[in-house]
Chains A and B, each alone.
Chain A
Amino acid sequence: MRNFRSLGIAACAAIALSAGCVKGCGGREVSVGLGGDLGVQVKLDVRSLMNGLRVIMIEDRASPIVSYQSWYRVGSVDEEPGKTGLAHLFEHLMFKGTEKYPAKQFFMQLEAKGAEVNAYTTRDYTVYYENLLPELLPKAIEMEADRMLNLKLDEETLQTERLVVLEERRLRTDNSPDGRVTEAMWAQAFRVHPYGWPVIGWPRDLVQLKLEDLVSFYREHYQPANAALVIVGNFDPKATFELIERHYGSLKSGPRPERKIPAEPEQQEERRMVLRDRVQGQKLAWGYPVSSADQDDSYALDVLANILFSGTSSRGYRRLVEEKDLALGVSGSAYTPTYPGLMVIQVMMKGGLAAELAEAELANLFSEVQSAEVTAEEISVAVRQLTVQTIDSVRTPQGLAQLVGVVNSVFGNPQRVSEDIQKYLKVTAADVKRVAQKYLVPNRRTVVTLVPGDAS
């Protein structure tokens, strides 16, 4: 399953294109087959408004609900040093109301009628979603269009929401051993690229963000040309698109913001950090820089990660947990987002054992996949696992909308969802060996170890 995200939010997978067609009204309707020959089809209806807003619709009358998702191509990569956490804090403020729909109206108008209303921010994009009964869809469209350009921001709201975000940070990172390890890993691995700072932001920056920072951020990034709507479920595409045209069509859009992201220089040395916390056992995390999602290496990396770490029959689990009895658990996956990402391996050490023991075994494992090809059966198992994960990820309208949204956001083309299974099927043992040799290089490794001790 392709990992496009990197903030502990569920990752997504992709599906295979089986046929395509173009229809009128400027729309492009594409029939997509799920999971190769497993016999499930969905139709992507892709359109654009004159102001640049992209609309992607998938009608599924078998579902009793609709997922309406607004995807903005803005995340923590669009921040600058000293203003980290801006994208996420702003996401909170998007629920604070407009002139037409004052604060809490999103909840009064939609959540109070059973809709699930929420949002999340990642390094690359920000998503606002409503999972709701079909009868609520027109109101969701109207309210999302309204807050795209008419949000009201004030100092008092900012102050309160800043406190909430600081509590969120304490919850997810400061008081979470796992959160601390993850934050340290990305900060050590990315010293120039914005992936190095946490999406939630550094506390010293959060307390200094000013209202004008947020207003400026809003004006630059929240506009039709920088957004896409993804709608999946029980709705009428024609009537829905008419509603979207009515509410979004008149919104003026500036130019799509150009991203000027500094590239991360190639890592030339192993980086190490030791964290201490009041924990009962050691934890180890290894990170290696890997490709971005749009590189075909990402498919071989996913297959490699599955062979090494997916399931209790994987090579990594067998070696560290069962054979050497060093660890209680091991996991690993390749995060390949919009820009070059990170393959992260995490090991929960058995009580009383030092992380160095796992390091030696991991090094042996990696050496093995670099020196000899994995078996055809291992590749077959990995691809089968990825196929099931892909199907599982689209079992709900919100899951399918999320998949299409992330593919559109990362690749700029929602029809790219069609390619992944086919590309996984083409991965060879030689590809796996090649990416292992290319990316699992000791002097590009970042190592974070969590050991029992005083966190202060």
Chain B
Amino acid sequence: MKTALRLAIGFFAAGFALSASAAGFQLPTPKIEKLPNGLTIVWFAGEKLPVVDFSLLVRAGYRDDPAGKSGVSELVAATLDRGAGGMTERQIAREIEKLGASRSATTGDDSFVLGLHGLSIDGERLLEMLSILALKPTFAESEVRKEHTRLKDRWSRLGDYSENLAALAYHRWMAADTVYGRGSFLSMKEFDAVGPTDVVAFHKRHFVPERAVLVLVGRLDEAKTRGWVEKHFGGWAPGGAEAASAAFKYRSPLVPKADERGTVVVVDRPGLTQAQVRIGWHAPAIKSPEHYPLVVGNSILGEFFHSRLNSLIRDKLGLTYGIGSGVTHAMELDTLSISAATQNDQVGKLLVKTREVMKELGSQGVSPEEVAQAREYLRGSFALGTATLGAVASRWLGGYLFGLGPDYLNEFVPRISAIQAPEVSAVFAKGFAFERAAIVVAGDAKLVVPVLKAAGFPKVRVLTAQQFM
């Protein structure tokens, strides 16, 4: 699991020409322009293959679902291509797919992305279709109702997969008392209150040029593309300044309170032979001075194969196929998470051994050699992770939305290179005591709970998937 920005950023994955190699490379920075209506245009041109990715990002996500109506942004995402600009759902599908192109609409905690991917020679038509979907959705009542039913059907199956169950419960716990506390949807009951008028209202409120960023990636003729952008997005009427939502904080009554830390939440799914385990803490924000020390510390803890967790729990003890850690960021929530899966009767041992690793990090810190190795790892993996233009665009956009400045990406390696062992040790000493962790296990409760208690975890709260829906 890698450090990630929890943003719904489109599906860029392009190759590109990088002028320099290895250590000293400078990543391309985009050209940024603004249309008179307030729409920001971000250009990443230079793909060697004849493909393009066009994405429209809107600064609105789950957090912006109205009170009592969580799930609206998901329903908007599901309905945007169900009719637009005088075209039916079927006509839209055919129009895009006959180009060999693909489309996506995804929503997340803070943002919403509509994307089209296809051949460069189809650039104008793709851009036009993107504008039709984003600006002229029909939201016919019958189509919204149909997608509403389908979303409920899909959500009802979250419990079919233990990793989904673990993720659902873990997110509710970690996001408690934040604007993300409801997740993508809080309950079927609440979603039942969502209807076509909510979808139309969400779109009207948030799909305005001032809150949107159009990202153009790939092999582009800039002059022609600029003309197409103006033609298809120039007439998008400004929405005014009031668009920001009144997001509110929410805490699920299911998850342990702050003074109940030490409790393990078990989400019961009978019949499983393997349990999914999630362990996590709130972490320093991405703009915090502790951010880069944490990035280095996370590498040592569980990001690569030779990390402390994997070396002990997989490589030495054979308890799991994989255990990893990762740092994620949303606008108002930052987390350090550990993730693993193990057979039911080893859950206690896995937690005990993870506790030992965290305790050792907290009390003894990390060595200069480990930090030097982690720095080198991060330098190299950053180069790999930004080896395509699409990857650069995706990472750059994440930083841009967090207000990290245009040179954020090119600052990464120098900032990491400056981190020393005491800074990393201080982060672990201060913030990540195992006793304060949120711990979620998704598995067969009748087998897992006795194992947990025997391993020294007496406080267990057993919940079901249905309770989370």
Residues in A lying within 8 Å of B, measured CB to CB: 34-35, 38-40, 62-65, 104, 107-108, 111-117, 131-136, 159-168, 170-171, 174-177, 234, 277-281, 310-314, 318, 322, 328, 350-351, 377, 380-381, 384-389, 391-392, 394-397, 454-456
Contact = CB atoms under 8 A, between A and B. Distances in A.
A114 B315 CA distance: 20
B35 to A, nearest CB: 29
B376 A114 contact: yes
B384 A170 contact: no
Q: Chain B, interface size: which category? A: 35 or more
Given A171-B274, A278-B271, A318-B90, A396 B15 contact: yes
Interface stretch (B43-51, B60-68, B244-252, B432-440): B43-51
Q: Secondary structure of the B side of the interface?
A: mixed
B378 interface: yes
Contact of B321 (A35, A112, A164, A394): A164
B288 interface: no
Given A40-B49, A281-B153, 20 more contacts: A62-B18, A104-B315, A107-B304, A107-B305, A111-B305, A111-B306, A134-B21, A160-B316, A161-B318, A164-B318, A164-B320, A175-B162, A278-B160, A281-B157, A313-B97, A318-B90, A351-B153, A377-B98, A381-B97, A396-B388
A35 B161 CA distance: 39
A171 B166 CA distance: 14
B326 to A, nearest CB: 16
The residue among B97, B273, B319, B373 with the most chain A CB atoms within 10 A of its own CB is B97
A246 B205 CA distance: 66
B376 A313 contact: no
Contact of A113 (B90, B99, B274, B377): B377
Given A40-B50, A384-B100, A395-B15, A132 B380 contact: yes
Contact of B90 (A112, A114, A167, A313): A313
A412 to B, nearest CB: 27
A107 B306 contact: yes
A381 B341 contact: no
B172 to A, nearest CB: 20
A163 B319 contact: yes
A429 B378 CA distance: 52
A115 B342 CA distance: 27
Nearest to A166: B343
B270 A278 contact: yes
B22 A114 contact: no
A397 B89 CA distance: 37
A190 B443 CA distance: 33
A388 B274 contact: no
B446 interface: no
A432 to B, nearest CB: 17
Interface in B83-136: 89-90, 93-94, 97-102, 117-119, 121
B49 A133 contact: no
B379 interface: yes
Given A40-B50, A112-B306, A318-B90, A454 B271 contact: yes
A131 B385 CA distance: 10
Contacts of A386: 100
Contact of A35 (B50, B269, B314, B318): B50
B383 interface: yes
A167 B321 contact: yes
A19 B161 CA distance: 49
A-B interface, 3 closest residue pairs, ranked by CB to CB distance from nearest: A114-B380, A163-B318, A384-B100
A395 B89 CA distance: 30
B154 A388 contact: no
Nearest to A321: B150
Nearest to A389: B100
15 contacts: A34-B49, A35-B50, A38-B119, A63-B18, A111-B305, A114-B376, A134-B22, A165-B321, A167-B319, A167-B341, A281-B153, A384-B100, A388-B118, A395-B49, A395-B390
B16 A167 contact: no
Nearest to A456: B271
A395 B14 contact: yes
